[in-house]
Amino acid sequence: MNDGAISMEVIKNPSEMQAIADKIRQTKRIGLVPTMGALHKGHISLIESAKKETDFVVVSIFVNPIQFGPTEDYKSYPRPYDEDQKILEDLGVDLLFFPFAIDLYPNPQTTFINIRGLENLLCGKIRKRHFKGVLTVVAKLFNITKPHSAFFGQKDYQQALMIRVMTNELNFDVRIRVLPTIREEDGLAISSRNIYLSDDERRKASILYLSLKEAEKLLKKGEKPISIVERQKLLIEREGLIPDYFEIADPETLKPVDGLGSGAVIIVAAKIGKTRLIDNLIVQ
C-alpha cells in the first residue's frame, strides 16, 4: 500500500483490483477518479477532493474504445503515460488502475447501459454511441474498484448527469461527486483535447465561455432563451467555430426551457478546426 510518494500501486487486472478493493473497504473509504489520462488541472482538482473526502484514492486511466465513434480520435487520443504516472505519484494517489482494453473487454461487449431520453439529446445526438460506452465503462469501473465515492467534472455536464441517473436507477452504492469546471485565465474550460488547438484556435476558443457568460446575463435579465441561443450561436460562428449546439436547458431533463424558472443549464458544444469542445454554466 502507499507508504510514500513513489509507492503508488499500479494494477491492470480487474480481478486483482476487486480483491484489493474488498480488502481496503474493510477499513477505509475508497474514492475513485475515473479518467482517460492526459491528466490536467481539472483531474488534479478531482483527485485533491477525493483525497480530502476519502481514505484511499484510486485513479483509473483507460481510454475507453466503446465510447468513441468510428471517425473520432480513439487512436490519436493523447496517452502520456509516464507523465501521468508521475503526476499521480506526486499527488500521493494510492492506486492507479490502468487496464488494457483486453483486460476490460476480453470478449466483445454485449451488455450496455443506456438511459432512454437523455442518450439522444445534445452530445448524444451527435456522438451516437458515446454515452452508452461511457455508462457501461463507468459501471464496470464501479464494480471493479468498489468506490464509496466517485468524482467527475462539471465540464462534462451531460455525462455527469447520466452517471448520477444510472447510479440512482441501478442502485449503485456510490456517492457521485460533481465538481466545478477548472478554467484557463481567459475562461476556456481545461480539457485533455485543448492540446489539439493551434495558437490561433486556442485564442478563438475562449469565445465559448464568453458566450455562456453573456447568455447567463441575458437570461437573468429576463430575455427569452430562444433569442439568446440564436444570438450566441452567431457570436460563436463569427469567431470561426462551428456550433454543434447551444442550448438553455432544464438541468435534469436537458430539454430546452423557455425561461430561467427554478434554474437552467446553458450548454454548448462547438468544433474549432478538428477539435470539438464542450462547456456549460449552471444558472440558478
58, amino acid identity: V
For residue 238, count other CB atoms closer than 10 A to its CB.
Answer: 10
Q: What is the rounded distance in angstroms from the CA atom of residue 248 to the CA atom of residue 49?
A: 29
| Range 41-70, binding ligand PAF (CB under 6 A) | 64, 67
Catalytic site includes residue 130: no
Phi then psi for residue 181, to 5 deg, are -65, 135
CB within 8 A of 2, min separation 6: which ones? 8, 9, 92, 93, 94, 95
Give whichever of 145 and 211 is closer to ligand PAF, judged by the CB atom. Answer: 145
Q: What is the rounded distance in angstroms from the CA atom of residue 162 to the CA atom of residue 152?
A: 11
User: C-beta of 156: minimal distance to ligand PAF in Å?
Assistant: 5
| Range 235-264, binding ligand PAF (CB under 6 A) | none
Q: Which three cell numbers stand for residue 172?
A: 449503485
Site string for ligand PAF, 158-197 (x = CB under 6 A): -x--------------------------------------
User: C-beta of 63: minimal distance to ligand PAF in Å?
Assistant: 8
Q: What is the rounded distance in angstroms from the CA atom of residue 142 to the CA atom of residue 6?
A: 25
Q: Which of 34, 124, 147, 225 binds ligand PAF (CB under 6 A)?
A: 34
134 is a site residue for ligand PAF (CB under 6 A): yes
281 is a site residue for ligand PAF (CB under 6 A): no
Give whichever of 135 and 207 is closer to ligand PAF, judged by the CB atom. Answer: 135
Q: 141: phi > 0 → left, psi -120 to 50 → alpha, else beta; which?
A: alpha
Give whichever of 20 and 138 is closer to ligand PAF, judged by the CB atom. Answer: 138
| Selected catalytic residue, list 40, 43, 130, 148 | 43
Residue ranges that bind ligand PAF, judged by CB under 6 A: 34-36, 64, 67, 134, 137-138, 156, 159
